[in-house]
Amino acid sequence: MVIRRRAWPLPHYRAFAAVAQTRIIATIPKKIYWQASVRTYLPLNGLRAFESSARHLSFTRAAQELNVTQAAVSQQVRLLEERLGCVLFKRLPRGLGLTDEGRALLPVLSDAFSRIENVLKQFAGGHFHEVLTVGVVGTFAVGWLMPRLQSFRQAHPFVELRLLTNNNLVDLAAEGLDFAIRFGEGNWPGTHNAALLDAPLTVLCTPQIARRLATPADLARETLLRSYRSDEWPAWLAAAGLAAWPLHGPVFDSSRLMVEAATQGAGVALAPRRMFSRELQSSVLVSPFSIEVHTGSYWLTWLKTRALSPAMQLFHDWLLAQAVNRSTAIN
């Protein structure tokens, strides 16, 4: 696959950078400014010509991408080579090849141009669209967050929200996440943890199975669907005044998947009722017992080393307000 990069007007980059540098310099005391290093002139036309030619290994195809002549591309590359004092391309009978110096320069330029291009795309419509990446456990995403996302979009149209679901195992730094919404006790090290919702677990099953359950002890004759947290059923049975028996039902890494199995009559699930309100309201599932057990809550988490960006602050405030409103309505 050939990657074509949009031909952004590099003179505009220079003009913007020059104005920005002038305004910044005006705010810096003269003594400090002269002690600081000043960025040297960058041959942007030559760098752009080289980067495109190196991706295509062709001056002709680079010229087509940049909307200039082949001779102009070749000249810009030659001027860049003269400035750097080295040869970047091997001129071959059928195209171009990169020298060691060219191979060293290409990935740096490709990354830089891609980052500039991505930022410029965020100015679509004359407004800066800040990207916000949130990792969220799938059960919470489908059962609670998705029905409310439109209100966030309407309130903050210039925040581009990107949701990545997980099964509660997440690494904010490694995955490049601004936030993670997680289930647990809120004691993860290295992160700020803001409580969102309690999520007590209760028994969920189809109406057909529920008719066989007069008391919690009747669960011993049913298939009990399990999550990867092995303490949940024993905790619920203890709350019901029963000693736990050996469990052999299938194990799921997602409550959402486990409850989907329950809706198809595969067994009895133990899951947070408020994450499956639609299934309960439609009577696809019922909750035959009022017994609930608390094993954790949903939390909004972010790195302690990370200052909140404007978009992060907006999402943080909106999400906590939504959670408070929801909890008040339930109570």
The predicted pLDDT at position 26 comes to 44
CA diameter of the chain: 87
Angle at 164 between CA 113 and CA 190, to 5 degrees: 90
Q: Closest Cα to residue 293, out of 221, 166, 198?
A: 198
User: Which H or E run contains 91?
Assistant: strand 89-92
Is-contact 298 305, C-beta < 8 A?
no
Q: What architecture is domain 10-121?
A: Orthogonal Bundle (1.10)
Residue with tokens 């199975």: 209
Which three-class secondary structure state does DSSP give residue 88?
coil
Give the CATH H-level superfamily of domain 128-196+297-330: Periplasmic binding protein-like II (3.40.190.10)
153-168 pLDDT, tens digit per residue, is 999 988 989 999 988 8
The predicted pLDDT at position 34 comes to 36
According to DSSP, the β-strands at 191-198 and 201-204 are unpaired
Centroid of chain to Cα 115: 17
CA pseudo-torsion sign 206, 236, 147, 145: negative
The predicted pLDDT at position 23 comes to 44
Q: How much is the average pLDDT of 128-151?
A: 91
The predicted pLDDT at position 42 comes to 84
Range from 90-104, 122-136, 222-236 carrying the lowest mean pLDDT: 122-136
For residue 199, count CB atoms less than 10 angstroms from its CB and return exposed for 0-12, middle for 13-18, buried for 19 or more.
Answer: buried
Residue with tokens 């299934």: 279
Q: How much is the average pLDDT of 129-145?
A: 92
38-74 pLDDT, tens digit per residue, is 566 789 999 999 999 999 999 999 999 999 999 999 9
The predicted pLDDT at position 6 comes to 54
Per-residue exposure over 148-187, b if at least 16 CB sit within 10 Å of its own CB, e if not: eeeebeeebeebbbeeebbbbebebeeeebbbbbbbbebe
CA distance 132 to 178: 6
169-196 pLDDT, tens digit per residue, is 889 999 999 999 999 999 999 999 999 9
At residue 265 the predicted structure's pLDDT band, cuts being 50, 70 and 90, is: very high
- Domain 201-281 in CATH 3.40.190.10: yes
**Same fold across 10-121 and 128-196+297-330:** no
Q: Following DSSP, what letter does each residue of 273-305 receive, concatenated?
A: GGGGHHHHHTTSSB------B---EEEEEEETT
CA distance 46 to 54: 12
Half-sphere exposure of 242 (CA within 13 A, CB side): 16
Reply yes or no on whether the pLDDT at 97 is more than 70: yes
Mean pLDDT across the chain: 86
Q: How is the chain split into domains, by residue range?
A: 10-121, 128-196+297-330, 201-281
The predicted pLDDT at position 261 comes to 97
- Higher per-residue confidence, 128 vs 274: 274
At residue 319 the predicted structure's pLDDT band, cuts being 50, 70 and 90, is: very high
The predicted pLDDT at position 200 comes to 95
Beta strands in 94-173 (DSSP E): 95-98, 130-137, 159-166
Q: What are phi and psi of 294, to 5 degrees?
A: -95, 120
Bridge partner residues of 201 (DSSP): 272, 293
